[in-house]
Amino acid sequence: MAQEPNAPATPPRRRKKPKFGDTRHLFAALREHLAAGTASLPDFAKLVAEGLVADASVIYVTRHGELLELAATHGLNVSAVGRTRLRVGEGIIGLAAASGDVLNLPDAQNHPRFVFRAETGEQDMASMLAVPVKRAGRTLGVIAVMSRQVRIYAPVEVESLATVAMLLAEILARAGATDVGDEGFSETLPRRYGGHVISAGIVRGKVLAYGAAAPIAKLLTEDTEAELMRLDTAVEEANKTLDGLITANMPGGNASRDVLEAYRMVAQSSGWLAQVRTAIADGLTAETAVDKIARQLRERMRRVADPYLRERLADIEDMVGRLMVALGGMAPKPERADGMILIVRRLGPADLLDWHTRGVAGFAIEEASASGHAAILARALSIPALQVERGAVEAAVDGELVLLDAEEGTLVLRPEPEVLQVYERALAARDERAVALTGYRDVAAITKDGTELKLMMNIGLALELDQLDRTGADGIGLYRTEIAALASGGIPDVAGQAAEYGRVLDRAKGRPVAFRTLDLGADKLLPGETAQTEENPAMGWRSLRIGLDRPAILRRQLRALLLGAQGRPLQVMFPMVATVEEFRAARDLLEAEAGRIRPAPERLEAGTMLEVPSLLFQLPGLLAEADFISVGTNDLMQFLFAADRGTPELADRYDTLSAPVLEMLEKLVTYCQEAGVPLSVCGEAAGRPLDALAFAALGITTLSMSGNSILPVKAVLVEADLNALRPVLRELRRAGAAGGSIREPLAVWAREHNLAV
């Protein structure tokens, strides 16, 4: 953008120089220039320098070729405008543009990235405050103020310059400013982005790039009361749309309602909305204030390490979008988006459900976590979803073709015809396979050699219960009670918990249900809780350890489980048990509560998850106490191999189909059979057909997995002859005794016997 003329036809009236930190005077001056249509870049530079009592100010605008050009200045040599250029990343200005960070430097000339430009006349300047000018995630330039004194700029000055940068971004965007990184970008070439699977599935469709705010027509206001009323009206309208979503489009009832109620609690919290009201009182319009506070939250949350806390930003972003639509600052959603794939930076649960009702077939989200609210709903609704690496949002073009592979973890924009043909064939084969698998729903899980198996489901929300009948599962091997608590934003009272557990038993229709007590801590924190300062939270104060240290919480849950059973058989399973003493203490609490509840359960069983390796060395004592054992492969694997399951570099390094794991499982089977204690394997490994085949050959006859895995696993097992597999498995284990995986040779054997592993 070239320098604009700074000789207004109607100059603004003269005013006293605003005092330090008086943002209202600065915004009032900017409002006058904007209203008069005389808001040139030199005016901006002058007003900012005067408003922040700075000796100089500069505005750099991005140009093609990763360049930043001086477009306006006050206090430096005006002759340098249009001549002084910096590469993105060069100098302090270039560093602010490249990093997207605010730089507050008391002695800028001694900063290692400082680059001197003699033509600007900046040799007398010491301190600098540089703020990137960004819009919709794109950097359009940098605005900075300088002082001859060595000083740190105060928070109020940083805040004021950040607001000016936001206003400047709208002006630059309207003038067609170039984004950093645009040079050399092609909107026709294919682009691939990796990612992590949130909810499995493969889907193809057209890109839906929604969420970019329209240019704000009016940035500043004199009538703050009117703007506050507009905000209140927008909040009320957003609440009504959310209420309608909760009551009219709820597939599965109360559990999904809990997810959205938790979203409401975070998104409508008084804290950030109070900041919006303060920004309006400073002279911003309602939509400008909402946009400003949302940007600040994004910047803060970007630096937060805790993934759970970062995920809460998606809930607020959801509400920001609803408010911007209500205020006219964003276009409303299309009525239908059938078969499209939404590519966004963040996504809250209410928005995900809303888009699902409009027909969206898949989601690619740059900032998401597998434990977030949106991820919980995506899995419950079986919608393919991927946490995709950064850059996908900027590269996506509305309406273009995209492939979302939420199994291998890949997003392909504008795929080549050859790639598209491969996926088309794979999808056609998948559809045929899905139809064929439905034929196994009512088939008993009995292998060709006559081994009877039980295939159970792992669930955490009531809306997943529909899969019991759809898959023909034999029951629920793991009901994760903490998921509903996380979704609802807190642990319900006894009556609320009892109602939930009673509904689960009702929907199970007599099939067994193993309720795992609250598995909180580590990466599963309730809203309002802060993570413990532990070096290894997965091995820290979590799960049953919390329950035993805070027995009132555990007692309330046990009481609720007994009340919800209403005399029916009840299975209670304790997580993260490390010693027989811990299990005995938990069981004593259960039996004490059972003595007070009427009607008593027809049959009460207490079992444990086997996740901590120490239990393997206490089996005789454990088997004398426990009514059943379920091997939790996810946690057991990470503890057995000292490999954090959330570390991508270790994801494929250790395998359940390796000699130490298979040796451990075989011995466990022998101990349990001798003691007459039922044994099951639960977790991701149980849902992989090849792993399930190996477990069954070892003598494990109960497997618990996600609903989507039931039919593929059953299809393999009913076609397998375990008597033929066992000697092969023994030989493969001998060959892999050094600890290596036998996955590949076992898969070869399975395919030779026409098993679809």
Of the two residues 378 and 137, the one the predictor is more confident about is 378
Cβ neighbours of residue 346 under 8 Å, at least 6 residues apart? 313, 314, 317, 365, 366, 367, 368
Banded pLDDT at 316 (limits 50, 70, 90): low
Query: pLDDT tens digits, residue range 325-362?
Result: 788 766 677 888 899 999 988 787 767 877 888 899 99
CATH of domain 191-217+224-431: 3.50.30.10
Of the two residues 530 and 599, the one the predictor is more confident about is 599
Of the two residues 178 and 32, the one the predictor is more confident about is 32
Task: Please give the pLDDT value at position 530.
Answer: 45
Task: Please give the pLDDT value at position 311.
Answer: 54
Q: What percent of the chain has pLDDT over 90?
A: 38
DSSP annotation of 178: P
> Quick count: other Cβ atoms within 10 Å of Cβ 648?
10
> Angle 428-431-437 (CA atoms, 0-180°, nearest 5)?
140
Task: Please give the pLDDT value at position 35.
Answer: 63
Cβ neighbours of residue 154 under 8 Å, at least 6 residues apart? 21
C-alpha to C-alpha distance for 341 and 326, rounded to whole angstroms: 24
Just list the catalytic residues. 373, 682
> Angle 643-392-311 (CA atoms, 0-180°, nearest 5)?
55
Query: pLDDT tens digits, residue range 191-210?
Result: 888 888 888 889 999 998 77
C-alpha to C-alpha distance for 70 and 384, rounded to whole angstroms: 46
What does pLDDT average to over the chain?
A: 81
Of the two residues 216 and 735, the one the predictor is more confident about is 735
Cβ neighbours of residue 702 under 8 Å, at least 6 residues apart? 453, 454, 456, 477, 678, 679, 680, 681
- 439-529+537-752, CATH topology level: TIM Barrel (3.20.20)
> What DSSP string describes 67-115?
EEEEEEEESS-GGGTTT-EEETTSHHHHHHHHH---EEETTGGGSTT--
Query: pLDDT tens digits, residue range 5-45?
Result: 444 444 444 444 434 445 667 777 777 766 666 567 888 88
Q: Where in the chain is the domain with CATH 3.50.30.10?
A: 191-217+224-431
C-alpha to C-alpha distance for 660 and 95, rounded to whole angstroms: 50
Q: How far are the Cα atoms of 440, 469, 646, 687 from residue 707, in angstroms, in the given order?
A: 14, 10, 23, 9
> What DSSP string describes 343-356?
EES---HHHHHHHH
As a whole number, mean pLDDT of residues 379-398 equals 82
Task: Please give the pLDDT value at position 269.
Answer: 54
Q: How far are the Cα atoms of 277, 296, 432, 443, 726 from residue 292, in angstroms, in the given order?
A: 11, 6, 50, 58, 64
Task: Please give the pLDDT value at position 488.
Answer: 54
Task: Please give the pLDDT value at position 711.
Answer: 94
Buried b (16+ CB within 10 A) or exposed e, 205-216: bbbbbbbebeeb
Comparing 226-230, 315-319, 393-397, 442-446, which segment has the lowest mean pLDDT?
Answer: 315-319
Task: Please give the pLDDT value at position 144.
Answer: 95
Query: pLDDT tens digits, residue range 648-664?
Result: 556 567 789 998 899 99
Phi, psi of 79 (to 5 degrees): -65, -15
Task: Please give the pLDDT value at position 41.
Answer: 84
Comparing 522-526, 625-629, 691-695, 752-756, which segment has the lowest mean pLDDT?
Answer: 522-526
Q: Is the pLDDT of residue 137 over 70?
A: no
Task: Please give the pLDDT value at position 168.
Answer: 83
Q: Is the pLDDT of residue 751 over 70?
A: yes
- The beta-carbon contacts of 663-669 under 8 Å, at least 24 apart in sequence, are 663/733, 664/616, 664/640, 665/631, 665/695, 665/698, 665/700, 666/698, 666/699, 668/610, 668/616, 668/619, 668/629, 668/631, 669/698, 669/699, 669/700
C-alpha to C-alpha distance for 653 and 91, rounded to whole angstroms: 42
As a whole number, mean pLDDT of residues 381-401 equals 84
Q: How far are the Cα atoms of 262, 508, 604, 605, 739 from residue 569, in angstroms, in the given order?
A: 31, 12, 6, 8, 42
Name the packing angle between helices 722-735 and 743-752 (round to 10°). 150
Banded pLDDT at 378 (limits 50, 70, 90): confident
Q: How far are the Cα atoms of 649, 662, 698, 742, 746 from residue 753, in angstroms, in the given order?
A: 33, 22, 19, 17, 11
Strands (E), 552-661: 570-574, 604-610, 628-632
Q: Where in the chain is the domain with CATH 3.30.450.40?
A: 23-174
Residue in the block written with tokens 């067994």: 512
As a whole number, mean pLDDT of residues 492-514 equals 91
Q: Pick from 49, 100, 57, 51: which is nearest to 81 by CA?
A: 57
Q: Which CATH class is domain 23-174?
A: alpha beta
C-alpha to C-alpha distance for 35 and 57, rounded to whole angstroms: 23
As a whole number, mean pLDDT of residues 488-508 equals 85
Q: How far are the Cα atoms of 59, 87, 141, 147, 259 from residue 68, in angstroms, in the given order?
A: 10, 6, 7, 22, 45
Overall pTM > 0.85:
no
Q: Is the pLDDT of residue 128 over 90?
A: yes
